[in-house]
Amino acid sequence: MANIKFHLGEELPLEMHKVRMVQRLDLVPIERRLKAIEEAGNNTFLLFNKDIYLDMLTDSGVNAMSDKQTASMLVVDDSYAGSATFTRLKDKLNEIFGKEYFLPVHQGRAAENLLSMALVKKGTYVPMNYHFTTTKAHIMVNGGEVLELHMPEALNPISTEPFKGNLNLEELQKLIDKVGADKIAFIRIEAGTNLIGGQPVALDNYIETSQIAKKYNIPFIIDASLLADNLHFIKTREEKYKKHSIREITRLLSDTADIVYFSARKLGHVRGGGIITNDQGTYKKLLEMLPLYEGFSTYGGMSTREMEAMTIGLDETMDEEMINQGPIFIKYMVEELVKLGIPVITPPGGLGVHLDAMAFLPHVPKEQYRAGSLGAAMYIASGVRGMERGTISEERNPDGSDHIAAVELLRLALPRRVFTLSQVKYTIDRLAWLYENRELIGGLEFYEEPKVLRFFFGKLRPTSNWQEKLVEKFKADFGESL
């Protein structure tokens, strides 16, 4: 499919599916959008769907399901314990990943909770390619310290490095030499590194990390939530594995890890999660905690309907024609934005388009949350909901000061097989308008701030009347148009 050429020379992402069920959308007027973002405390998490045109908050639990997935939900074997649905899912995971033991959980962070409780002790370190918000919070709650051993290129917004998510192996060796292997709770690689722009990790990097982990007897854990995109990038960017099938790549990748966990809201396109391993000792330890926090070992907080659909979703993830549907749309959008000179993370990654708010709004002080401000402005200008992935998403320093994020991103997620090309073009158009009018965008300040994971429920206000001015300019430029 990637090879389809267009006679007129344009390069367009081409859908390998047809739409047979649709959901109506509305675009509310800009006056309502201004009011809605104020009611939401300038936090896009707190907007309601009725006020949103395109929901690009996340791909989590909102990727389109296939007809086969939906159909499978009717033929579940529903029971509290021992359902055949569970056995089918367990067997599918074993077939794809080669891991014998499976602990179902209600979503990805539940896996992080169990793993952190089982493995992280006070004073231990958890080196990783990059943190994810919930991962870091669980490790910190258990007294561990997260160390980000990324490559220097990882934080460079303008790059051609194909695998910006790679773990820095030299730094890993230095850390082991310095603190000793017994102080390291586990090593974690996050596939498709979320917070630096959905950037992939090379298969060779997983292999080399696992060799070091084995040498020092340190558990190696892969967070496979964003694995689908990462598989596509290994297949298309890592020369050595171009001829391998997605199934072969998945198996090689999985074989490097002692434990693989995932949010099935992303991997498998349902709502759930899981932990898989071949290590019976770890399995038994985690199994003891499972009924306390999640549910019985054959459902773990998930509905059997979701589990049945996950079995199909995982199988479909082994199809390059399916998993490329996120990345090719993202690539199109990133390349169009680059042409317009709009600062965006390159090379295009998975999950979504990541605008570089640091470069978009250099005139807004860092302490006034550039990515959060851009997210509020984007919603006002377009009805498109993105997600702040910058300083607001960080926990404060122990002294109470803001921990200024290394990268300040507004993420516009493109859930797989959900949006059309004209919707993507509309988003590009509104971004172009915002960029031309960027001087009008100002900062934000907290007026309600939770202590942990503040980005979910925190509320902020604009530091001036910049939002009203933005609306005025919009109306001057677009007239009565929405």
* Distances from the Cα of 129 to the Cα of 204, 222, 227, 302, 350, angstroms: 14, 11, 14, 29, 16
Q: What is the distance between the alpha carbons of residues 274 and 351, in angstroms, rounded to a whole number?
A: 20
Answer yes or no: 446 catalytic: no
∠444-446-452 over CA atoms, to 5°?
A: 125
Q: Is 7 exposed, middle or buried (0-12, 13-18, 19+ CB in 10 A)?
A: exposed
Q: How far is the CB of 112 from ligand F0G (least distance, A)?
A: 6
Answer yes or no: 86 catalytic: no
Q: For the CA atoms of the chain, what is the radius of gyration?
A: 22
Answer yes or no: 447 catalytic: no
Q: List the interface residues with ligand F0G, window 121-180 (CB under 6 A).
A: 132, 134-135
Q: Which strands form 125-128's sheet, in the order they lie side by side?
A: 101-105, 273-277, 259-263, 220-223, 187-190, 125-128, 145-148
Closer residue to ligand F0G (CB): 225 or 311? 225
Answer yes or no: 59 catalytic: no
Answer yes or no: 389 catalytic: yes
Closer residue to ligand F0G (CB): 111 or 249? 111
Q: How far is the CB of 134 from ligand F0G (least distance, A)?
A: 5
> Using the rule CB under 6 A, is 226 a contact of ligand F0G?
yes
Residue nearest to ligand F0G (CB): 108
> Using the rule CB under 6 A, is 270 a contact of ligand F0G?
no
Closer residue to ligand F0G (CB): 85 or 194? 194
For residue 96, list its beta bridge partners.
Answer: none
Q: Map residues 191-220 to x or -, x wherever contact with ligand F0G holds by CB under 6 A.
A: ---x--------------------------
DSSP 425: H
Catalytic position from the list 132, 186, 261, 419? 132
Residue type, 46: L
> Using the rule CB under 6 A, is 116 a contact of ligand F0G?
no
Closer residue to ligand F0G (CB): 349 or 462? 349
> Using the rule CB under 6 A, is 60 a contact of ligand F0G?
yes
Q: What is the distance between the alpha carbons of residues 380 and 471, in angstroms, rounded to a whole number?
A: 8
Q: How far is the CB of 427 from ligand F0G (least distance, A)?
A: 18
Name which position in 225, 317, 325, 467 contacts ligand F0G (CB under 6 A).
225
* Distances from the Cα of 340 to the Cα of 35, 335, 337, angstroms: 30, 9, 5
Indicate the helix (H) or strand (E) that contains 231: helix 227-237
Contact 83, 298 (CB under 8 A): yes
Catalytic position from the list 266, 411, 416, 430? 266
Catalytic annotation, residues? 80, 132-133, 223, 266, 389, 455
- Judged by the rule CB under 6 A, the positions of this chain that interact with ligand F0G are 58, 60, 107-109, 132, 134-135, 190, 194, 223, 225-226, 263, 265, 273
